[in-house]
Structure 1
Amino acid sequence: MASTVTERPGYGQLLRTPGAWTFLLPGFAARQPFAMLTIGIVLLVQHTTGSYGSAGAVAAVTGVSMALFAPQTGKLADRFGQRAVLLPGVLVHTASVSALTALALADAPLWALFAAAVPTGASVPQVGPMVRARWAAVLGAAPGREASPLLSTAAAFESVTDEFTFVIGPVLATALCTGVHPAAGLSAEAGLTLVGGLFFAAQHRTQPPVRATAPGTSERHASALSIPGVRVLAVAFLGIGVVFGGMQVSLTAFSEEIGRPGVNGLLYGIFAAGNMLSGIACGAIAWRSGPRRRLIVGYTALALTASGLWAAHSVFLLAGLGLLAGLSIAPALIGGYTLVESLVPASARTEAFTWLTGSVALGQAVAVTVAGRLADAHGASSGFMVPLVGTVLALATLVALRSRLEHAAPGRTVARGVGHRKSVAVD
């Protein structure tokens, strides 16, 4: 059980961490494109081809490409430093998005759009994982220093920031595409990537240090995926991506079925708001349970909520279930990201975070495709089965392999909440 009362919420304390604002502000700008890319591609390609199927396929190629290449970006960042990876990365991404935009406006064949979508997705800057790695470097355990109790607060703060990004980004991209020009969304995405990414890369004082490895050791070159707990978390985070993708498509289909397409934004906004509110609360609570237990409890609640989505036939009921689903996601996300700090050595944390982010992107790409086909063939209700299946499979994986999520150092001091320290068990 968790204590629901704490003397200090912790976010003010967290934001007073020396040097935090130097990477938070440019990091926030640089991660906006991640939320704008998919919707920007869909709106532009649908405008030029007249096909949502083609638009969804190009967006899916981008998502899969990002999922495959993001961990390699993280591994390179751990090995050579974030700045060395970001500088060429943002330039390649800006050029790739510009090429994709030009090809779409020139009515290029679909294969050409696919070809441009691959480097577009592969070069998406992994700013979110890099910010998390910076928090871990500042607040995590180190020789002669215990992990700060603000570490779980930082994980909660990042979850809220991510969700806030996914509220603002799509709205901004949609407004630009519909109110200015169909290509304006992708153009803004490329511009934010370039400016925000370069400013973020310039904050080299707060980036995690590149740790030298003694001759004859393999830690520096070992992949974070070689750690069993990271593999379990990567599979589990596929389920979260499936929820995001399945909800986005199914809510759109539901809104069109009832003849009220404008309600889609309201329903998805309620879903996202639930995630934000839950993330804020998770950072303020002084938890007595460990992150592994919170991860499993969050997934259990998410699976139970998802089991009712397919049967919801009213806006009011779907809004309520969407809110509950959003409330369940943050504990799962925060629990998983918090576990990384104890499972993964500092030399591989950026890569570990990108495996989780890539899993979310891959799950989202798969869910968009599957839920879209189901909704086209059998209606919106069948599309809601995708989040259910994804969460149930992820939960089963977590329960069956929960022993792989044990802390690397049993009995080490971990965060209970703000202003508290206590040696706790894994659960």
Structure 2
Amino acid sequence: MASTVTSDAVKRPGYGQLLRTPGAWSFLLPGFAARQPFAMLTIGIVLLVQHTTGSYGTAGAVAAVTGVSMALFAPQSGKLADRFGQRAVLVPGVLVHAASGAVLIALALADAPLWALFAAAVPTGASVPQVGPMVRARWAARLDGSPLMSTAAAFESVTDEFTFVVGPVLATALCTGVHPAAGLVAEAALTLAGGLLFAAQKRTQPAHGPHAAGAAPAGGERARTSALSVPGVRVLAVAFLGIGSVFGGMQVSLTAFTEEIGNPGVNGLLYGLFAAGNMLAGIAVGAIAWKTGPRRRLIIGYAALTVAASLLWSAHSVALLGALGLVVGLSIAPALISGYTLVDSLVPASSRTEAFTWLTGAVALGQAAAVTVAGRLADGYGSAAGFLVPLAGTALALTTLVALRSRLTARPASRTVARGVGHRVPVAVD
């Protein structure tokens, strides 16, 4: 008698199965080292420039220029990686980043004028290696069509959040305990070493150019268009701008709050609770066998994030703010992971790296804007006003998501099918 059996491994994909993917560790370990600087750059610039100028405003402005530059250039880096290969983009990119970072350090220590710091900050941000999106693209190439893709997206979210816990702590310890420039020096060194090691893993590099799966549609037409031309990617970019507003708004407003209560040392604890919530939720999302699709999970998760963010401004105690920060963190991961999971079904393989970098860039842009706006609000009206930035950012993004949710529908795999195939459920016949 004929029968069809679905294995538990497919029903319930887990982290163990994911990490047994052939070749995974060859890009995960160097990729982890290469992405650490992503979280060290902003805090390293702030601490160095504040030390040399005595102004948090100037330090924040230089860091914001770096963030905006990265957000604008990251998608172009992703597009080039899809076309010419990750190695071809990554090797010159890490060399430029290390050199421009060294110039920025030298200018800051030499008390150079602000315009010179801005000039050095632009290439420093523009050349930040997009290792996270490149790792996600490698997972997508390895797991194409597998239910493990959602697990991989969760794993990457946890890795990113762990990076944002370890990176700032390491940079701060180096800047305060060794030398004000030590954080940026370590950032440049890790970028160079990790980036070159990651680029050397040629076996796991996704196919690129005309050889990439999905590079040409049915009928042989070549379409070399931007991933941003896909309506769903534009909607996700708006959603990720809102997530960036949470990261930026929380960083500034938590710092302002702890200074207002005269206990700045508790800032690390509060931000740690926020980051821990994100990590815990990311682990859980990857371990659960979901019965609902990523689009619905994205909208539900984003609604929860908006509600949690709307309460931050009203917290007036460390305990309450810590609890709310934990809830906000728990709400971010489901939305973030669902968004990254949707990319695999929205764009062809030939545009995946670019699509991932648009989303990463949107987070960076939202964070840079939030840092600037929340900083001004906190200076003028207190930390409670700064917490309004995450509320506004997530509310606007949620409205966009709900209104344009139909654009997050997966692209059809193909319109050319054999006659009589795919419209009838096969049955077993004795």
Same fold? TM cut 0.5? yes
Q: Match for 2:147: what amino acid? A: P
Asked if residue 186 in structure 1 is aligned to residue 184 in structure 2, the reply is: yes
1:227 equivalenced with 2:230 (yes/no): yes
Alignment CA distance shift 1:7-1:335 (3 Å): closer
Q: Following superposition of structure 1 onto structure 2, how do residues 75-224 of structure 1 map, counting pairs within 5 Å?
A: 75-140=79-144, 147-212=145-210, 217-219=221-223, 221-224=224-227
- How far off its partner does 1:76 sit? 0.1
Q: 1:206 corresponds to which letter in structure 2? A: T
1:37 aligned to 2:35?
Answer: no
Deviation at 1:410, TM superposition (A): 8.0
Per-residue deviation, 1:99: 0.3
* Residue deviations 1:341-388 (CA, integer Å, cap 9, x gap): 000000000000000000000000000000000000000000000000
Q: Deviations over 1:6-33 (max 9, x none)?
A: 9966111111100000000000000000
Within 5 A, what are the aligned runs for 1:7-406?
Answer: 10-140=14-144, 147-212=145-210, 217-219=221-223, 221-406=224-409
Q: Secondary structure at the match of 1:399?
A: helix
Deviation digits for residues 279-334 of structure 1 (CA, Å, limit 9, x no counterpart): 00000001011000111111100110111100000000000100000000000000
Which secondary structure state, in structure 2, belongs to the residue aligned with residue 55 of structure 1?
Answer: helix
Whole-Å Cα distance in 2 between the matches of residues 268 and 289 of structure 1? 31
Q: TM-score w.r.t. structure 1 length?
A: 0.92
Over residues 144-188 of structure 1, what are the superposed CA-to-partner deviations in whole Å (9 max), with x where a residue is unaligned? Answer: xxx111110000000000000000000000000000000000000
Distance in 2, Cα, partners of 1:205 & 1:356:
26
TM-score, normalising length from structure 2? Answer: 0.91
Q: Percent identity?
A: 81
Q: 1:7 to 1:355 in 2, by over 3 A?
A: closer
Deviation at 1:216, TM superposition (A): 7.5
1:30 corresponds to which letter in structure 2?
A: A
SS of residue matched to 1:204: coil
Q: Superposition RMSD on alpha carbons, in Å? A: 1.7
Unaligned runs of 5+ in 2: 1-9, 415-424, 426-430
Q: Could you tell me how far apart the structure 2 residues matched to 1:307 and 1:400 are?
A: 20
- Distance (Å, rounded) in 2 between the aligned partners of 1:209 and 1:397: 34
Q: Please tell me the residue identity of whatever aligns with 2:112.
A: A
Count matched residues: 401
Moved over 6 A (4+): none
Correspondence for 2:428: none
Distance in 2 between the 1:410 and 1:318 partners? 46
Inter-partner Cα distance in structure 2 for 1:192 and 1:211: 29
Q: How far apart in 1 are the matches of 2:396 and 2:121? A: 29
Q: What does residue 422 of structure 2 align with?
A: none
For 2:11 and 2:203, how far apart are their aligned partners in 1? 32
Preserved contact between residue 13 and residue 148 of structure 2 (Cα < 8 Å): no
User: 1:72, CA displacement in angstroms?
Assistant: 0.1
Q: Shift of residue 210 of structure 1?
A: 1.2
CA-to-aligned-CA distance 1:91-123 (integer Å, 9 cap, x gap) = 000001000000000000000000000000000
Distance 1:172 1:374 in 2: 29
Q: Which amino acid aligns with 1:93?
A: H
Q: Distance in 2 between matches of 1:400 and 1:11?
A: 34
C-alpha distance in structure 2 between counterparts of 1:208 and 1:223, whole Å:
18
Q: Which amino acid aligns with 1:189?
A: E
Secondary structure of the residue aligned to 2:400 is: helix
1:240-298 CA-partner distances (Å, limit 9, x unpaired): 00000000000000000000000000000000000000000000001011000111111
Residue pair 2:12, 2:289 contacting (<8 A) in 1 also: no
What is the CA–CA distance in structure 2 between the aligned matches of 1:320 and 1:201, rounded to whole Å?
Answer: 41
The aligned amino acid for 2:103 is A
Structure 1 portions without partners, runs of 5+: 1-5, 141-146, 412-422
Q: What SS does the corresponding residue of 2:101 show, helix, strand or coil?
A: helix
